[in-house]
A and B are shown apart, each in its own frame.
Chain A
């Protein structure tokens, strides 16, 4: 099988930027030293990447739709629709994502969920589908955000209620629940985690820190869009935000938290706060609404009407934010700017931009992969990982996207793979 060598790359590896080559075969990143000494062959095809920044492809754990398509709409849900979104998301540097379904009626879940199967990505099919994120309806009414009250539920019968509501747990990767709902901590979370291998995320909740800690001890490991749809941090009851510095969590794994860095949902000071306090847990998510990628106008999400105007998406007729329309690539840029802003005002000069670039990219790659326990395969450029990667310029704009080693998208002709090739001796 053809051995590809991408020369002259500035790679993100082991939390640092290093100048090195990237070797790919069979859609995986391989160790060139092993190939050199054990197989004694040279690359068949070589590309000169002109020193460009090469990062793992971005991974989005919370996205409600995009390019006008709504994952929660039973009328639109289909394999073709998901495929289309998966293909178009490559323009944002996204190589894997988790389509998210908001609080809905049981009939809707049964119509919609079976259409979204896990699927490996490719240049032809676009980003990998990592499973489904079901956000709700077992959430708290007071923190429902844009979710409809009449769809919210409790679980007096424990996990049975979730199963009868959703229909099945097949292809479900993440479920967001409010842990204070009776039975969640006692039975639902442990069963979801241990029996069904599903990542439980806490959110849309009025839980105290104590309840949050018990949820994590029961198996929850993610916080849905930190700061949004939960109690604000209070110095005598830190609420779910306090999980970032809790001293009563199991030490075996860390708690990750989603953060919407669209410049609107989270103030840059809050981004810096969370980052300084618990950087390894930070996961950038878009929580994007179907309007992502579309110009200003009105669109549908779930059973709601959404207004998009001036980079804000609100429920038509209210001031309630209902998700972001910033791409994951823009979120990475926003996070980097937020970190830089913090440094400039403190020291008067920028010394650690390179480290920030690495951390912001980790937040959109390695960290989301860790949430799903796939950090050896996705979200990394380590040997053996899937060859999902992107080219970025120094402002972190996406120049090109590769999935399983093949170019899935390029911003212009100059970054087309044909124009980078310097050697081709494959048959």
Chain B
């Protein structure tokens, strides 16, 4: 695992965006050779998307040959509902960039056959050649996507019922009416994300500190699904000081000491072969 520790959320968002930009550039996508990117929703990626949009508007980055797969979507929420993940992705990213709509994949929470939708999604990922880089965040309980505590670490894309905590936390987006909050969602599985060639998780703020501790200093545990990535060959974790509050000083010092190496990952001059070091 690489643990990149930065000062605050702004730095995390910028670092994350620059990493995505560099990875796409180094991959050098073109017709017939598309860069497959896995994407999250939530508050953590907001700053990352903002930065990516800036890069596109400044003509420093193009999504013309990028394919995206989002992690999840609510079941039963109309596609154009302001709180749907379709709307989130449209407003924060897709409307501002030059991506081909045919290269955008988001699970359809209103599909007539939800299980078939999940099976087809997994197939679509395979057809695209597998995910090159899957970006994600974590919940305060260490869940990745909607893989709530207790989710199989080998799981694939499927229907999941949301935990009570998650529903309560989401009520603020639905007029504080808990009855309007969707109770289930379609989500990629832990196994699905593990299949990606690289996983980058962004973690910011003290509310995530315990989850980060569980994820990297404790064992692999289905009660904290992001811990599964301890078994991934290329797991990149980007966090800020507040998120490290529950880690050992020794851990933090070690990784902070590697920052000069890590920062080369986002420099234009950073050599692509660096990706295979320090994991």
Contact = CB atoms under 8 A, between A and B. Distances in A.
Interface of A: 21, 31-34, 36-37, 39-42
Contacts of B166: none
Contacts of A34: 80
A32 B95 contact: yes
Contacts of B91: 33
Contact of B101 (A21, A31, A36): A36
Given A33-B87, A33-B95, A34-B80, 14 more contacts: A21-B95, A33-B86, A33-B91, A36-B90, A36-B94, A36-B101, A37-B86, A37-B90, A37-B101, A37-B104, A37-B106, A40-B101, A40-B102, A42-B100
Nearest to A20: B95
Contacts of B104: 36-37, 40
Given A31-B80, A33-B90, A41 B95 contact: no
B79 interface: yes
Q: What 10 A-B pairs have minimum CB-CB distances, sorted nearest first?
A: A40-B101, A33-B90, A36-B101, A40-B102, A37-B86, A33-B80, A37-B79, A36-B94, A36-B90, A41-B101
A32 B86 CA distance: 13
A37 B91 CA distance: 12
Contacts of B100: 42
Question: Which DSSP category, helix, strand, loop or mixed, fits chain A's interface?
Answer: helix
A294 B91 CA distance: 47
Nearest to B79: A37
B192 to A, nearest CB: 22
Interface of B: 79-80, 86-87, 90-91, 94-95, 100-102, 104, 106
Considering residues A36, A37, A41, which has the most beta carbons from chain B within 10 angstroms of its beta carbon?
Answer: A37
Nearest to B98: A42
Contacts, number: 28
A42 B80 CA distance: 18
Contacts of A36: 90, 94-95, 101, 104
A21 B80 CA distance: 17
A32 B80 CA distance: 11
Contacts of A21: 95
Contacts of A39: 101
A237 B217 CA distance: 80
A147 B186 CA distance: 70
Question: Which DSSP category, helix, strand, loop or mixed, fits chain B's interface?
Answer: helix
Nearest to B91: A33
Contacts of B79: 37
Contacts of A32: 95
A118 to B, nearest CB: 33
Nearest to B100: A42
Contacts of B101: 36-37, 39-42
Contacts of A41: 101
Nearest to B101: A40
A58 B239 CA distance: 52
Contacts of B95: 21, 32-33, 36
19 contacts: A21-B95, A33-B87, A33-B91, A33-B95, A34-B80, A36-B90, A36-B94, A36-B95, A36-B104, A37-B79, A37-B86, A37-B90, A37-B101, A37-B106, A39-B101, A40-B101, A40-B102, A40-B104, A41-B101
A37 B80 CA distance: 10
Contacts of A42: 100-101
A21 B91 CA distance: 12
A346 to B, nearest CB: 36
B62 to A, nearest CB: 14
Nearest to A38: B79
Nearest to A34: B80
A31 B101 CA distance: 15
A21 B95 CA distance: 9
Contacts of B80: 31, 33-34
B88 to A, nearest CB: 11
A159 to B, nearest CB: 46
B151 to A, nearest CB: 28
Nearest to A32: B95
A219 B28 CA distance: 68
B70 to A, nearest CB: 12
A37 B68 CA distance: 13
Nearest to B94: A36
Considering residues A32, A36, A39, which has the most beta carbons from chain B within 10 angstroms of its beta carbon?
Answer: A36
Contacts of A33: 80, 86-87, 90-91, 95
A110 B115 CA distance: 69
A46 to B, nearest CB: 11
Contacts of B102: 40
Contacts of B94: 36
B115 to A, nearest CB: 22
Contacts of B106: 37
A40 B105 CA distance: 11
A400 to B, nearest CB: 24
Contacts of B87: 33
B108 to A, nearest CB: 9
Nearest to A36: B101
A161 B79 CA distance: 55
A391 B94 CA distance: 26
A255 B86 CA distance: 40
Nearest to A41: B101
Nearest to B87: A33
Contacts of B86: 33, 37
A284 B87 CA distance: 37
B143 to A, nearest CB: 26
A34 B102 CA distance: 13
Nearest to B102: A40
A40 B100 CA distance: 8
A42 B99 CA distance: 9
A39 B91 CA distance: 17
A276 B86 CA distance: 41
A42 B86 CA distance: 17
A11 B26 CA distance: 38
A37 B101 CA distance: 7
B85 to A, nearest CB: 11
A309 to B, nearest CB: 52
